[in-house]
Structure 1
Amino acid sequence: MSGDVDALTAEVRGPVLLPGSGEYDEERAGFQAGFRHRPALVVGATRPEDVRAAVRFAAERSMPVAVQSTGHGIVTALNGEGLLITTRRMKAVTVDADAATVTAQAGVLWGNVVEQTAPHGLAPANGSALHIGVVGYLLGGGVGLLGRRTGYASDHVRALDIVTADGQLRHVTAGSDPDLFWALRGGGGNFGVVTAVETALMPVTRLYGGALHFAADRPLDLLHAYRTWTSTLPEELTSSICLMTCPPWADVPKPLHGRYAAHIRIAFTGPTDEGERLVAPLRALGPRLVDTVRDMPYTQVGTIYRDPQTPHAYFGNNVLLRELDPTALRTVVDVAGPDAPVPCSVEIRHLGGAFTRRHPGRGAVGARQAAYMLRVTTGGTATPSTSARPVHQKVYDALKPWTVGRSLNSVYNDGAPVPEEQVRELFAAEDFERLRRVKTLHDPHNLFRFTHNVRPKGVS
């Protein structure tokens, strides 16, 4: 293949790397340290033309293609086969303040977007972590920081540029290709390599937000209190609670190191005095180890969750729940709480509000009737997924009576192919069949299968 690789190298501006070359390991590395792609070939794209050349090269040789920006959401890892396209060098951001939109290339992080939109008094529908890539987040739906007010982030997408399996670069909008446009907003990376995305912005400049940290000596009491509190909230307040033993990492406040604690995160777009009133019942729960809730400019929203920025191993999954049953919460604590056989982080995100409304430009995101998302993860340790998964599954089994689906962006796999029955859980039945029709049209040979794969018809 060396002669062919030389021809590809001459065609693209970015690096083209084979295993054993000096930069190969650095190029394939990502945030997920538990497993990584080990492709037969890596192309570091710098522009859409590089992506087109790489996809054509792979298609001509029936090589599967995987895509990586930051490497947070690797689903199925290339293992000695296929071609990996890295997009981290594609960093252009264009803000149209008059239209209240931003266009971001495939390597752009949410922090880049927030930084460039804030001077215009605008903000994107980003998530809690600003070091996450824009494109992958939007392809998975996006449970946003202000989601109870704004709905799923993917519903705000206006256009996408994508290289499909035939090597063509397409500008996809609701008018140009309604089915592909629908599928790309929540259907994951099944349909090609997105090189840029245009999404709407919101007139948000500040919020009342931050985090309350409590010693979780009585975790069940805290979960019950959170459930009761969220039943009273306006849509302008989006929140979550996380229970875990806090690692001694630099991005974790020192008072939390080694402690089993509850971390309640707040993002409220209303007035500060109203935010103080709404948060008061939480502050009354007991002494706080850390309290960072305050009025802040939108540029500081990355401090609310303080998501870890150091690459590490992690495994996990989630369920979307129509309600948070108080009796099931006891099982959650008993199975995945402080006495769990493997370290677990249990996070509950409050949905409802705009998440549940049928957006006129709705994408493929399913289970919109969910009121909460519950996610269990194990990370930051050497615990193998084979030990963690059975513990996590006991939680999900206990929650089955209230489960309506799963969120694609919060499925953290262990690198193995995802069974089709698990992919189907991510979508409504009719939406899955529609996704399959779109996949069959645009990727009939399943070139882009190293994802939450929706197999085209006729491919086993």
Structure 2
Amino acid sequence: MSVDVQTLAAEVRGPVLLPGSREYDEERSGFQTDLRHRPAAVVGATRPEDVRAAVRFAAERRLPVAVQSTGHGIVTALDGEGVLISTRRMKAVAVDAAAGTVTAQAGVVWGEVIERAAPHGLAPVNGSAPHVGVVGYLLGGGIGLLGRLTGYASDHVRAVDIVTADGALRHVTAGSDPDLFWALRGGGGNFGAVTAVETALVPVTRLYGGALHFAADHPLDLLDAYRAWTLTLPEELTSSICLMTCPPWPSVPEPLHGRYAAHVRIAFTGSAEEGERLVAPLRALGPRLSDTVREMPYTQAGTIYQDPRVPHAYFGGNVLLRELDPAALRTVVDVAGPDAAVPCILEIRHLGGAFARRPPDAGAVGGREAAYLLRVMTGGTAAPSTVARPVHQRVYDALKPWTVGRSLNSLYNDGAPVSQEQVRELFAAEDYGRLRRVKTLHDPHNLFRFTHNITPLHGE
């Protein structure tokens, strides 16, 4: 498909890039390296007006639009058609300490917000990886580092600046457009191209947190112990456990390279003394290959999970669970543990607490009653997705009796088509209907469909 690049370039300040150039390939590349957009043109937006121009150009020609900042969670790749809007150059951050809020443009990552908020004694409701983009995380709900205390990150959003399919730049709040504001907080990127968000900060300056690594020669015993431990915890402590064969990455301690290990992550806002007491049952499980749990400033919170910073190939999914059944965990380990047919990463995140409480002005996030999130992932270079996907599905099938939904932000696609049935699983039934009505109003031609796509009402 050819694009009238001169017309488009005349409307935007940033670059307009076409296939065949090194700059085009760099601009379309994201963190998820095995699933990349191949659009007819890329617009490197530098300001909201660039985003407006790109959306207007596409809408007038009925071209689809995809939006990318860091590219951590591409769902469906735009291939050979349409316009990709790259927002990574939009980096303005403004903290309002008196109001306890931050406004971040669409290219900002959480680490930048953490650094800007810290001098004011404040912190954002961010996730485990400081290099993840602010906007995509908030649109998908956001399971935060302190989520059992703070709830879903999207419920802290105060305003969204978005260019809808008609080319209008809207400042959306609970007062200006309650339905669109609700949909944007958990409904994903279905409703337009976000240029900035305003979200609340929390008065957190330090943590007792870090990671414990254990050799996972008996992974089921460790999962059973973790499950029992989580039943004793206050909401001020949010944690997770991950089982995997550790890669030789710089973020992974060298003694773990090549070993199948358990990685327990802890973030606690109480005192170090109370934290020591709460973590003691875990330390008693046996020798630790690594123990970084300590008192730390919040600016070091990104060290807890040690998420990889180097772009790589991966795909996987998740289920939200009302409980962890010990018998089901045995099946999970048998299917996706150290002896799995393909290498798998198993992760369980402890939810409940504030996650389970729906505030009066809550957004569209589904599955709030879940007590745990279980993720299964495979590196794209470790096994073809056609081989690994059935292994993942066997895990989900084993957990079906306890499943209450799926988390949008933890679905990493391999390029396979995403069905409407899969999208419905992300939301409560009545919320899905409401989301479709909002979609029909603001994007009736489904220009923004390269996401967990909610189709307009006339789209089926």
Smaller-chain TM-score bracket? over 0.9
**Contact persistence 2:342–2:382 (CA under 8 A):** no
After TM superposition, the structure 1 stretch with the greater mean CA deviation from structure 2, 2-11 or 91-100, is 2-11
Q: Which runs of 4+ in 1 moved over 2 A?
A: 1-4
Name the residue aligned to 2:423.
Answer: 423
Taking the aligned partners of 1:408 and 1:35, their CA distance within structure 2 comes to 17
**Which amino acid in 2 is paired with 1:408?**
L
Match of 1:304 in 2: 304
Inter-partner Cα distance in structure 1 for 2:34 and 2:383:
10
Q: Which residue of 2 aligns with 1:90?
A: 90
Match of 1:37 in 2: 37
State the shift of 1:110 in Å.
0.1
For residue 78 of structure 2, give the secondary structure of its aligned residue in structure 1: coil
The answer to whether the aligner puts 1:135 opposite 2:153 as a matched pair is no
The question of whether the paired residues in 2 share the 8 Å contact of 1:208 and 1:268 is answered with: yes
State percent identity of aligned pairs: 83
Amino acid at match of 2:371: A
Per-residue displacement from partner, 1:363-389 (whole Å, max 9, x unpaired)?
000111000000000016342111111
Structure 2: distance between partners of 1:392 and 1:340: 10
SS at structure 2 position matched to 1:74: coil
Match of 1:442 in 2: 442
Q: Report the counterpart of residue 48 of structure 1 in structure 2.
A: 48
The answer for the alignment partner of 1:341 in structure 2 is 341
The separation in 1 between residues aligned to 2:403 and 2:448, in whole angstroms, is: 29
Residue 221 of structure 1 and its aligned partner are, at CA, apart by 0.1
8 A Cα contact 1:87 1:106, kept in partner: yes
Tell me by how many angstroms 1:34 deviates.
Answer: 1.2
* Cα offset, 1:448, TM superposition: 0.3
SS in 1 for 2:381: coil
**Correspondence 1:48-447 to 2 at 5 A:** 48-379=48-379, 381-447=381-447
Q: Aligned partners of 1:17, 1:389: CA distance in 2, in Å?
A: 34
- Does the 8 Å contact 2:42/2:84 carry over to 1? yes
Contact 2:3 2:41 in 1 (8 A): no
8 A Cα contact 1:417 1:450, kept in partner: no
User: Residues of 1 paired with 2:361 and 2:136: CA distance?
Assistant: 19
Amino acid corresponding to residue 290 of structure 2 in structure 1: V
Per-residue CA deviations over 1:391-449 (Å, capped at 9, x if unaligned) read: 00000000000000000000001123310000000000000000000000000000000
Q: Secondary structure at the match of 1:115?
A: helix
CA distance, structure 1, for counterparts of residue 415 and residue 53 of structure 2 = 26
Per-residue deviation, 1:22: 3.4
CA distance in 1, matches of 2:285, 2:2: 65
Which residue number corresponds to residue 16 of structure 1?
16
Provide the rounded CA distance (Å) in 2 between the counterparts of 1:372 and 1:382.
Answer: 27
**What SS does the corresponding residue of 2:225 show, helix, strand or coil?**
helix
Once the two structures are superposed, residues 242-267 of structure 1 have per-residue CA deviations (whole angstroms, 9 ceiling, x without a partner) of: 00000111111101100000000000
Letter of the 1:231 counterpart: L
User: Does residue 26 of structure 2 align to residue 26 of structure 1?
Assistant: yes
Runs of 5+ unmatched residues, structure 1: none
In the alignment, is the contact (CA less than 8 A) between 1:37 and 1:77 conserved in 2?
yes
Q: Distance in 2 between matches of 1:334 and 1:109?
A: 37
Unpaired stretches in structure 2, ≥5 consecutive residues? none
Q: Secondary structure at the match of 1:264?
A: strand
RMSD of aligned alpha carbons: 0.9
Q: Work out whether residues 77 and 416 of structure 1, in 8 Å CA contact, stay in contact via their aligned partners in 2.
A: no
Give the alignment's TM-score, normalised by structure 2.
Answer: 0.99
CA distance in 1, matches of 2:437, 2:11: 33
Contact 1:163–1:169 (8 Å) recurs in 2 = yes
Check whether the contact 1:65–1:84 (CA below 8 A) recurs between aligned residues.
yes
User: Is the Cα contact below 8 Å between 2:343 and 2:382 reproduced in 1?
Assistant: no
The aligned amino acid for 2:330 is: R
**Distance (Å, rounded) in 2 between the aligned partners of 1:145 and 1:262:** 19
Equivalent position SS for 1:67: strand
Distance 2:260 2:74 in 1: 28
Helix, strand or coil for the counterpart of 1:36?
coil
Pair 243,2 (structure 1): closer, same or farther in 2 beyond 3 Å:
closer
CA apart distance, 1:2? 6.7
